[in-house]
């Protein structure tokens, strides 16, 4: 009998929704036109692109023309950051972000620092949240951008976007949100939250890889990252990926049909199953971050005391369970989690003894029970 592998790394990527696969396959077969062509094939492709754009825009309360299709979250983040920096350097060169952002935000910041921009990295507390007073103090007339993620990809902390938007709207800065982990898990209203730029990625919401969008508020001055043709209202050159965009629209439509509160309650139940199993067998562990307050429950980050992260990942993988460490595993060695370092300090034992479990809408209760049992057995075997 073939063992079924269980996927619990949904913060890294998600399995494609069968309806998305069906749509993409159908579009590839029946609708191969270039959406910029004027003939019937092109017009048909354009209709597909615009229908998906409308679906995405409605999800975050934006106008259709404010949605720019990109290759994903990294390109969207890079466009928002470099585009703002280059277009607004005559106003100032100060940018505010946090210490726990995704590398597609942190690495552009490092590049800009080398170019003479002043980058301020806000601290976070042990739950993975910023202090709004710290942001308030740093917001000066020469601040041109505030870039803060919606939901942290390692510990699930939700940033106070509405409160940040209120502070930033009265300044000279644009407010950019990396919503790659939040999109589909929490409700976002760009108007209500005073968000100027917002990045998403399709593969985090059961859509195709290498596709996302950047919301760019109408009237903003942001330079293009790429140069070429006049696609995407002259904002992002390159022939549109019509089948992928159609699939993205379907993925988001499926998500919009769901109650996000119920989804979070489902994930909370999953967390409880795992934690109850650990408690029952008196496994020595702690939560990284928090399970209370502003947090998305699709992520559960555990410090398994005395269990090395790499050993835990290897053992779980061999038993058919896919989870991750704090950061990407490269060439057999784990890069220390910059998120856990920012929360607990570089010398914390948590950094070498933590795993991230992340749930998706296709996970079942039986899968979680099976994982919990295996996790307990592993901890008993490997703990010092």
User: What tens digit of pLDDT does each residue of 206-236 get?
Assistant: 999 999 999 999 999 999 999 999 999 999 9
Q: Is-catalytic flag, 329?
A: yes
Domains in the chain, start-ordered, CATH in brackets?
18-256 (3.40.640.10), 259-382 (3.90.1150.10)
Question: What's the pLDDT at 139?
Answer: 98
- Sheet strands (E) in the chain: 6-7, 67-70, 94-98, 118-122, 143-147, 174-178, 197-199, 212-216, 285-287, 299-304, 321-322, 329-330, 333-334, 354-358
Please say if the pLDDT value at position 295 is more than 90.
yes
Per-residue pLDDT of 9-33, as tens digits, reads 999 999 999 999 999 999 999 999 9
Of 291, 322, 329, 352, which is the active-site residue?
329
In this structure, are residues 55 and 249 in contact, taking their beta carbons and an 8 Å threshold?
yes
Mean predicted confidence (pLDDT) in 29-49: 97
Mean predicted confidence (pLDDT) in 130-150: 98
Tokens 């619990």 belong to which residue?
A: 8
Query: What gap in Å lies between CA 287 and CA 155, rounded to an integer?
Result: 9
Per-residue pLDDT of 91-121, as tens digits, reads 999 999 999 999 999 999 999 999 999 999 9
Question: What's the pLDDT at 329?
Answer: 41
CB atoms within 10 A of CB 289: 23
CA dihedral (315, 321, 325, 330) positive or negative: positive
Per-residue pLDDT of 248-293, as tens digits, reads 999 999 999 999 999 999 999 999 999 999 999 999 999 999 999 9
The torsion defined by the Cα of 254, 258, 261 and 265, in degrees rounded to 10, comes to: -90
Query: What gap in Å lies between CA 270 and CA 280, rounded to an integer?
Result: 16
**181-195, 294-308, 313-327: which has the minimum mean pLDDT?**
313-327
pTM of the predicted structure, to 2 decimals: 0.96
- Percent of the chain, pLDDT > 90? 95
Query: What gap in Å lies between CA 123 and CA 65, rounded to an integer?
Result: 35
335 pLDDT band, cuts 50/70/90, is confident
């Amino acid at each position: 009998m073939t063992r079924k592998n269980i996927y619990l790394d949904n913060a890294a990527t998600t399995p494609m929704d069968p309806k998305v696969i069906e749509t993409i396959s159908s579009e590839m077969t029946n609708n191969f036109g270039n959406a910029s062509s004027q003939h019937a094939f092109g017009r048909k492709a354009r209709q597909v692109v615009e229908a998906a754009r409308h679906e995405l825009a409605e999800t975050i309360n934006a106008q259709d023309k404010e949605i720019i299709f990109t290759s994903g979250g990294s390109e969207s983040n890079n466009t928002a950051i470099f585009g703002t920096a280059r277009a607004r350097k005559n106003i100032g060169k100060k940018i505010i972000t946090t210490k726990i952002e995704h590398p597609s935000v942190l690495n552009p910041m490092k590049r800009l620092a080398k170019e003479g921009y002043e980058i301020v990295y806000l601290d976070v507390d042990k739950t993975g949240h910023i202090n709004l007073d710290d942001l308030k103090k740093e917001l000066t007339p020469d601040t041109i951008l505030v870039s803060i993620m919606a939901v942290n990809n390692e510990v699930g902390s939700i940033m106070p976007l509405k409160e940040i938007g209120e502070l930033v709207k009265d300044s000279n800065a644009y407010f950019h949100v990396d919503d790659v982990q939040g999109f589909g898990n929490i409700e976002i209203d760009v108007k209500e939250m005073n968000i100027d730029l917002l990045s998403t990625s399709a593969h985090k919401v059961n859509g195709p890889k290498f596709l996302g969008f950047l919301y760019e508020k109408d009237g903003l001055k942001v330079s293009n990252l790429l140069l070429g043709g006049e696609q995407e209202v002259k904002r992002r050159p390159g022939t549109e990926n019509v089948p992928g965009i159609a699939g993205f629209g379907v993925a988001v439509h499926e998500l919009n049909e769901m109650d996000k509160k119920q989804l979070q309650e489902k994930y909370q139940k999953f967390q409880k199953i795992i934690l109850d199993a650990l408690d029952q067998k008196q496994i020595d562990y702690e939560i990284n971050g928090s399970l209370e307050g502003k947090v998305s429950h699709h992520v559960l980050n555990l410090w398994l005391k005395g269990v090395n992260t790499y050993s835990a990942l290897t053992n779980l993988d061999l038993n058919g369970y896919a989870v991750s460490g704090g950061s990407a595993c490269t060439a057999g060695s784990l890069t220390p989690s910059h998120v856990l370092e920012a929360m607990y300090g570089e010398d914390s034992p948590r950094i070498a003894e933590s795993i991230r479990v992340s749930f998706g809408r296709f996970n079942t209760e039986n899968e979680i029970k099976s994982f919990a049992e295996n996790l307990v057995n592993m901890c008993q075997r490997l703990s010092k």
